[in-house]
Amino acid sequence: MKLIEISKGILTNCMALKAGESFLVVADDAKRELGEALWEAGRQLGAEAMFVVMNQREKSGQEPPAAISEAMKRSDVVVCVTQHSLTHTKARKEAAANGTRLATMPAITEDMFLKGAITADYSQVKALTEKVTELLTRANTIRIEKEGKALTFSINGRNGVPSTGVYVNPGESGNLPSGEAYIAPVEGTAEGQIVVDGSIAGIGKIDSPLLLTVKDGRIVEAEGAEADRLLKTLGDGDGRLLGEFGIGTNDKARITGVVLEDEKVYGTIHVAFGSNNTFGGTIAAGVHIDLVVKAPDVYADDELIMKDGKLLV
């Protein structure tokens, strides 16, 4: 019952779900129980609630079945509660373009429904997220520094994307819980090294740091306990290209090992490798893996905007 009541609050406050609207919950076997709670909440709110369960995808960024993609486009509100993320898929992009209000909850747990990022004041999260998004849109270059390593890349001509956790207008979409501003780096421009010490999507919290070396926008070397596992997931093709840079803006978020919450933590940044064609880039790799970095220094156009994880904007 508590999950249903919390789900009703989420659907009302974050999605503005109204009686009579068509509401679709997309789940897989791993998240069926949470999906049912969201569906029941929508039903109790008077929506035309529908619930569909698909086979679990193999990795984040993999498309759902065509029938589900079509249903997403034809619904007023969609929530995807699945083990692997549907955020960076053609299905999500096309549904939003068709006017659907859509939230993705990849790998969310019952604990995350009850605590942490979901409990944030989303008016504050929205305000900070939009401020950081504007900063990213204005900037031409980004440099991330940590432990004597630096990764630089161009974001010139790219627009920042706000994931505010509030999706109340037609076509708005993003994660729930949320709180991040992100952008697609210009493909092929990333150079240098980055120390990852938070978590990795699909792997979880990491006990020892991972050092990635990037040349011409592509991972050329990975060192650390999870290096081989990461590279195997990304594959040998475009999955190894830098596809995203993001900044966490949710002060209630925790590093839990589930990247949905981890990448929202205030004081962290994240980079992702693989697809970015759904938010302004050109990479369509069929995979998108986020890696979270704690307390870095970040420069935008050589101006320090984050010091040891603290935003200076």
Side chain identity, residue 169: N
> d(Cα 295, Cα 7) in Å, to the nearest integer?
32
| The pLDDT value given to residue 238 | 98
Phi, psi (degrees; rounded to nearest 5) at 279? -145, 40
> d(Cα 294, Cα 269) in Å, to the nearest integer?
7
The pTM (predicted TM-score) of the whole model is 0.87
| Residues of the chain predicted below pLDDT 70 | none
> d(Cα 24, Cα 47) in Å, to the nearest integer?
10
| The pLDDT value given to residue 1 | 84
Residues 55, 58, 59, 64, Cα dihedral to 10°:
-40
| The pLDDT value given to residue 313 | 86
> d(Cα 196, Cα 88) in Å, to the nearest integer?
22
C-beta of residue 218 within 8 angstroms of C-beta of residue 236: no
Sign, CA torsion 190/180/25/111: positive
| Edge-to-edge strand ranges of the sheet holding 180-183 | 161-163, 180-183, 242-248, 268-274, 288-294, 199-200, 204-205
| The pLDDT value given to residue 105 | 96
| The pLDDT value given to residue 40 | 98
> d(Cα 195, Cα 178) in Å, to the nearest integer?
24
pLDDT tens for each residue of 262-306: 999 999 999 999 999 999 999 999 999 999 999 999 999 999 999
Nearest to 255 by CA among 196, 298, 305, 302: 196
| The pLDDT value given to residue 312 | 96
In the chain the domains, ranked by start, together with CATH numbers, are: 2-114 (3.40.1830.10), 119-311 (no CATH)
| The pLDDT value given to residue 170 | 98
Nearest to 160 by CA among 241, 274, 279, 259: 279
